[in-house]
Amino acid sequence: MTTQLSTPVNRQMTEALSLAKGEPDWLAALRAKGADLAETLEWPKPEKVRIDRWNLTALGSHKAEQPLASIEELPEALRELSADAPAGFVVQRNSTAVFKQLSPELQAKGVIFTDLETAAREHGELVQKYLFQAVAQDENKLTAIHSAIWNGGVFLYVPKNVEVELPLQALFYSDDAAAAFAPRVLVVAENNSRVTYVDNVVSAYADGGQTLAKQSIIEVIVKPGASVRYATVHHMADNIIDLSIRRAIIDNDGRMEWIVGDLHDGHVLSDTQSYLKGNGSNSDAKAISIGTNAQQMSLTTGAVHWGRSSESNMVTRAVMKDQASAIINGITKIEKGATKANGVQMEKVLMLSPKSRGDANPILLIDEDDVKAGHAASVGQVNPEQVYYLMSRGISKQDAERLIIHGFLAPVVSEIPIEAVQKQLQRLLERKLEG
Interface with other proteins (CB under 8 A): 383-386, 388-397, 399-400, 403-404, 406-411
Nearest 5°: the CA angle 168, 169, 175 is 165
Give least dist CB 397 to other proteins, A.
7
Q: Which of residues 80 and 388 has its CB atom nearest to other proteins in the complex?
A: 388
Give least dist CB 288 to other proteins, A.
11
Q: Which of residues 66 and 414 has its CB atom nearest to other proteins in the complex?
A: 414
Nearest 5°: the CA angle 256, 229, 191 is 60
Residue 338 contacts by C-beta under 8 Å, 6 or more apart in sequence?
Answer: 276, 305, 306, 307, 308, 310, 368, 371
Q: Which of residues 81 and 350 has its CB atom nearest to other proteins in the complex?
A: 350
Residue 91 contacts by C-beta under 8 Å, 6 or more apart in sequence?
Answer: 68, 71, 74, 97, 98, 99, 100, 170, 171, 172, 173
Of 321, 229, 324, nearest to 268 (Cα)?
A: 324
Residue 242's CB is within 10 A of a number of other CB atoms, namely 24
Give least dist CB 403 to other proteins, A.
5
Q: How far is Cα 120 from Cα 109, in angstroms, rounded to an integer?
A: 20
Using CA atoms, how far residue 239 sits from 17, 72, 81, 228, in Å, is 25, 28, 21, 32
HSE-CB at 101 with a 13 A cutoff on CA atoms is: 17
Residue type, 21: K
Residue type, 2: T
Is residue 368 within 8 Å of 341, Cβ to Cβ?
yes
HSE-CB at 56 with a 13 A cutoff on CA atoms is: 24
Angle between helices 141-149 and 11-21 (to 10 degrees): 30
Q: Which of residues 87 and 350 has its CB atom nearest to other proteins in the complex?
A: 350
Decide: helix, strand or coil at residue 208.
coil
Nearest 5°: the CA angle 254, 258, 261 is 175
Give least dist CB 422 to other proteins, A.
14
Give least dist CB 412 to other proteins, A.
9
Q: Which of residues 79 and 406 has its CB atom nearest to other proteins in the complex?
A: 406
Give least dist CB 81 to other proteins, A.
24
Q: Which of residues 328 and 400 has its CB atom nearest to other proteins in the complex?
A: 400
Q: Which of residues 116 and 315 has its CB atom nearest to other proteins in the complex?
A: 315
Q: Which of residues 4 and 398 has its CB atom nearest to other proteins in the complex?
A: 398
Give least dist CB 368 to other proteins, A.
32
Q: Which of residues 62 and 317 has its CB atom nearest to other proteins in the complex?
A: 317
Rounded to 5 degrees, φ, ψ at 129 are -65, -35
Q: How far is Cα 276 from Cα 253, in angstroms, rounded to an integer?
A: 10
Give least dist CB 388 to other proteins, A.
6
Give least dist CB 337 to other proteins, A.
37
Give least dist CB 256 to other proteins, A.
24
Q: Which of residues 372 and 397 has its CB atom nearest to other proteins in the complex?
A: 397
Q: Which of residues 107 and 378 has its CB atom nearest to other proteins in the complex?
A: 378
Q: How far is Cα 285 from Cα 35, in angstroms, rounded to an integer?
A: 32
Determine if residue 249 is left, alpha or beta; phi over 0 gives left, psi from -120 to 50 gives alpha, anything else beta: beta
Give least dist CB 405 to other proteins, A.
9
